[in-house]
Amino acid sequence: MANPFLLVVNSLLPEPQASLLNGILFGVRGSISKSLYQSLIDTGTLHIIALSGMNITILTNLTARLTLFLGRKASCLITILLIGLFVLFVGPSPSIVRAAIMGSLSLTAIYFGRRYFGLLTLFLASLIMLLFNFSLMKNLSFQLSFLASLGIILANKTTVRQFKRGAWERLFSIFSENFKLTVSAQLFTLPVILYNFKRISLIAPLANLMIEWAVQPIMVLGFMTSILGLIWRPLGIIPGWLTWVPLTYLITIIQELAKIPMASIQF
């Protein structure tokens, strides 16, 4: 089944913003230009289109908040149904399916009042997929998605959250924690990138520091653009314009950093 959201995004955003948004939200890389894809590799930011599950997480959180007034159990059931519809619409790519299984398992645990273990869920979801199709072990998207998720989960387990009194302290705390998660995802995907692309990015820490803040707003606004635009195309125009801003910033930073001499070393 063709992904109807791709047509919406392509009609509301210019290139290369549309292609990158489709890569971040739906894992569709085929339309990303070779130069931009190479810049993602050179700057160590390829993990932003690895679909570590953040898109499913954002969709789950938004739905859960909107339906919480119906009660915990009803909210969980509606959110699981929406995850299933999302997979049906965007297509069952390995990374999307894994993220959907993890999201559904976490909601099932909440439904029954059980504790959710991210690391256990990641391995269980991956094992289920490999039992049905062991060839996924060689799939680059599956490898990047699994390792990015593993890095995020492990970094999140070691994050100590403390109450900060000042606004600037709270802001710095949020920024540093998110940056830690992003860098962890990049580090865990590094072996696969080294093996497949034979290069290492020296500019990756700076690149991730500069773009990390933009990824989540892109996902939230991108979902609004694609969903509202699917309902009625003009509804997606304003969120589409808003999405264009952080997308353009992200593309500019990645392309400019990739031009720096010795930004990456090829083996």
DSSP 159-181: ------SSHHHHHHHHHHHHHHH
Which comes out higher in pLDDT, residue 2 or 244?
244
Look at residue 2 in the predicted model and tell me its pLDDT: 65
CA distance 209 to 201: 14
CA distance 83 to 73: 15
- Band (pLDDT 50/70/90 cuts) for residue 218 is very high
Q: CA torsion sign, 213 to 219 to 222 to 228?
A: negative
201 and 264 Cβ atoms separated by less than 8 Å: yes
Look at residue 154 in the predicted model and tell me its pLDDT: 87
What does the pLDDT look like over 56-107, one tens digit per residue?
A: 777 777 787 778 888 888 988 998 998 888 888 777 778 788 888 888 888 8
Mean pLDDT across the stretch 207-213? 85
The Cα-based distances of 156 to 65, 119, 177, 183, 197 in angstroms read 22, 11, 8, 12, 28
Does residue 257 register a pLDDT over 60?
yes
How many other CB atoms are found less than 10 A from the CB of residue 218?
Answer: 25
* Cβ neighbours for 122, distance < 8 A, ≥ 6 positions apart: 102, 146, 149, 150, 153
Which of 126-130, 176-180, 237-241 bottoms out in mean pLDDT, i.e. has the lowest? 176-180
Look at residue 128 in the predicted model and tell me its pLDDT: 92
pTM: 0.77
What does the pLDDT look like over 122-171, one tens digit per residue?
A: 999 999 999 999 999 988 878 888 888 888 888 876 555 554 556 666 65
